Amino acid sequence: MELHKIVDRMWLVPGRNQGRFPFSHAIWVEGERKILFDAGTGQDVMAAFLRSHPVDVAFASHSHPGHLASFWLLDGTPLFAPVQSKTSFGNLEKLAERFVEDESARKLWIALYRKVLGFRDVTHTHTYDGQTGLDLQTLKLAAVHTPGHTTDHHCFFEEHTGTLLAFDLDLSTAGPFYCSRESDLESFRASLHLIRSYEPEVLVSSHMGVLRTGITEAIDRFLAVLDDRDRRILAATQEPVPLEQLVDRHLLIPRFPENLAPIYREWERRMLRAHLERLQDQHEVEQTEDGFRTP
């Protein structure tokens, strides 16, 4: 299969459907040890990759199942999980409890990963945290804890080439996403500022692929979306509006795919709540019996 070169000895393993949700790209590092980051490419893609490329160690950037689905194909390979998710990592039922609130959305969410990505539960063998470093002689990768999307999300920075593996801080036009039960808007914002401070020469996104130019500007545009969402909510709450009516207006996610509507409604609701709580703290929105409104 054809891999896409990121920098010397680092390759993108393209996910199905160009890495779009629920699939994601993986990254293979061909150093002193062969390291695979994430395994959400699609079962057939990952199986083809493993037939021709050795993997000595595997790392999960975070515990969303769209990044873990095919790790079971690496049976016997050391698998590193973020320390923050060690009690639920790799168990789809536990992850569903952790990430999805609505029961109907949770059942659909589990079915999506089981049927579309072929998810099978896995057990990690080791954990890592934001102090972890990987010295591979020609490459040096440092883990960077970047919570907000999830509590356990990590990026990895390669110091010689200035390459940032950003995973789900993906800078895609569909995002940003901070829609799990444990997501946190302010932590997400802080993590974007943190990766910006590294001034990466190359950025690798789990869903967009490899960015080589305009990276700082792309991060700034991603950050600006957060402020734009505040403005949209303020404009929509000039008169009192119940939360579910705000969800119906698609202020943050333009379209809910019909077959996944309960999941997307929960995502929209959760992100709206995050912004509304922030705006309430800033006294720009208040909650009344009739809904949310600007004072």
Tens-place pLDDT, residues 180-194: 999 999 999 999 999
User: Are residue 218 and residue 248 in the same domain, yes or no?
Assistant: no
Shared-domain flag, residues 19 and 129:
yes
12 and 142 in a single domain? The answer is: yes
For residues 217 and 239, membership in a common domain is answered with no
Mean pLDDT value across residues 128-154: 96
Contacts 24+ apart (CB under 8 A), 255-264: 260/108, 260/112, 262/102, 262/104, 262/105, 262/108, 263/100, 263/105, 263/108, 263/109, 263/112
Per-residue model confidence as pLDDT tens digits over 14-31: 999 999 999 999 999 998
State the pLDDT confidence band at 1, using cuts at 50, 70 and 90.
confident
The whole-angstrom separation of Cα 178 and Cα 107 is 20
Task: Examine the domain organization and report whether 198 and 55 are in the same domain.
Answer: yes
Its domain, for residue 114, covers 4-222
- Number of domains present in the structure of the chain: 2
In terms of Cβ atoms closer than 10 Å to its own Cβ (0-12, 13-18, 19+), residue 285 is: buried
Beta strands in the chain (DSSP E): 4-7, 10-13, 26-30, 34-37, 57-59, 79-82, 126-128, 133-135, 140-145, 154-158, 163-167, 202-205, 209-211, 286-288, 291-293
With beta carbons less than 8 A apart as the criterion, state whether 174 and 195 touch. Answer: no
**Which of 191, 222, 253 is at the close of a domain?**
222
Confidence of residue 275 (pLDDT cuts 50, 70, 90): very high
- Kindly report, residue by residue over 213-228, the tens digit of the pLDDT: 999 999 999 999 999 9
Instruction: Identify the domain boundary among 222, 250, 276.
Output: 222
pTM: 0.96
Q: What is the model's pLDDT at position 254?
A: 94
Does the structure show a pLDDT above 90 at 32? no
Pairwise CA distance, residues 55 & 52, whole Å = 10
Contact 236, 78 (CB under 8 A): no
Q: Which two tokens stand for residue 86?
A: 């060690």
Q: What is the mean pLDDT of residues 158-162?
A: 96
CB 74 within 8 A of CB 50: yes
Instruction: Indicate if 68 and 140 belong to the same structural domain.
Output: yes
Tens-digit pLDDT profile for residues 34-77 = 999 999 999 999 999 999 999 999 999 999 999 999 999 999 99
Q: pLDDT band at residue 81, thresholds of 50, 70 and 90?
A: very high
For residues 208 and 256, membership in a common domain is answered with no
Q: What is the pLDDT of residue 31?
A: 87
Share of the chain above pLDDT 70, in %: 100
Report the C-alpha gap between 107 and 262 in whole angstroms: 10
CA 63 to CA 99: how far, in whole Å?
10
Which of 197, 166, 169, 193 lies closest to 6, judged by CA? Answer: 166
* Residues near 107 by beta carbon (within 8 Å), at least 6 away in sequence: none
